Amino acid sequence: MSTLTDTKVASALDRMYAESKAQREALHDPARWQKLEGASAQERADALSDIYMPVTPEAGRLLYSLVRASRPATVVEFGMSLGLSGLHLAAAVRDNGTGRVVTTEMSAAKIATAKRNFTDAGLADVVDVLEGDALQTLAALEGPVGFVLLDGWKEFYLPVLHLLEPRLSAGAIVVADNTNMPDTQPYLDYVRDPANGYVSVNFLARDSDSMELSCRV
């Protein structure tokens, strides 16, 4: 049995996906995003502190499967939001019987909600939540890191990867979400250049967006 089908976990995921679906209009409201043009990362995080920015259920199961298969000692998530992807990562770590999830978030309100979600699902013991700028909070992280999910503000994908690179184990998997967004292009250019030490492939994660899956060689 997978922890994803555990009553507590499945109930939490069903509830959170229902809540995120109800917010879809708010998330895609152009007026809301126009107000945030020029805002700092912290200002954007605080303004969207009640909004889910979820991976799809299919992408969540993919993340679970990749972590199960790779059995990383440490999973790092950049951009926790309200914890949907984190639950999939934590479920995989629980089923592996080893490892931990280190997840980052700038919004204090989102952190409080996500921690409740992890507790409700019975997975809080395998998740460490870091509050603040990931470029600061992850600086002291000890390796090796075997799996990375990049799902925060897109302009920080490449700086976060550079920060983590010295700790990445050989064969580490790096998954970047929302790679159809223009701000991810510097990151994509980097991981797609073989000289930088990755084998990378892009695939659709939803009808209008994609993920980039990269292996550290």
Phi, psi of 32 (to 5 degrees): -65, -40
Within-domain flag for 39: no
Looking at the whole model, is its pTM more than 0.85?
A: yes
Q: How does pLDDT run across 98-137, given as a tens digit for each residue?
A: 999 999 999 999 999 999 999 999 999 999 999 999 999 9
- Report the number of distinct structural domains present in the chain: 1
The residue-averaged pLDDT of 85-105 equals 97
84-96 helix and 108-120 helix, angle to the nearest 10 degrees: 40
Within-domain flag for 37: no
Within-domain flag for 70: yes
Q: How does pLDDT run across 144-160, given as a tens digit for each residue?
A: 999 999 999 899 999 99
Within-domain flag for 41: no
Name the token pair of 22: 């109800």
Give residue 10's pLDDT band: very low, low, confident or very high (50, 70, 90): very high
Give residue 50's pLDDT band: very low, low, confident or very high (50, 70, 90): confident
Within-domain flag for 162: yes
Q: Kindly report the CATH number assigned to the domain that includes residue 151.
A: 3.40.50.150
Query: Do you know the residue count of the chain?
Result: 217
Q: Quote the radius of gyration of the chain (alpha carbons, Å).
A: 16
| Domain, as residue range, for 171 | 3-17+50-216
Alpha-carbon span 106 to 91, nearest angstrom: 23
- Please list the alpha-helical segments (H only) found in the chain: 7-22, 24-27, 30-34, 41-47, 57-70, 84-96, 108-120, 134-137, 157-164, 185-191
Within-domain flag for 54: yes
Give residue 31's pLDDT band: very low, low, confident or very high (50, 70, 90): confident
Q: Give pLDDT, residue 193.
A: 98
Phi-psi category of residue 56: left, alpha or beta, with phi > 0 → left and psi -120 to 50 → alpha: beta
DSSP-assigned letter for residue 124: G
Q: How does pLDDT run across 160-204, given as a tens digit for each residue?
A: 999 999 999 999 999 999 999 999 999 999 999 999 999 999 987
- Residue pair 210/179 in contact by the 8 Å Cβ criterion: yes
Within-domain flag for 57: yes
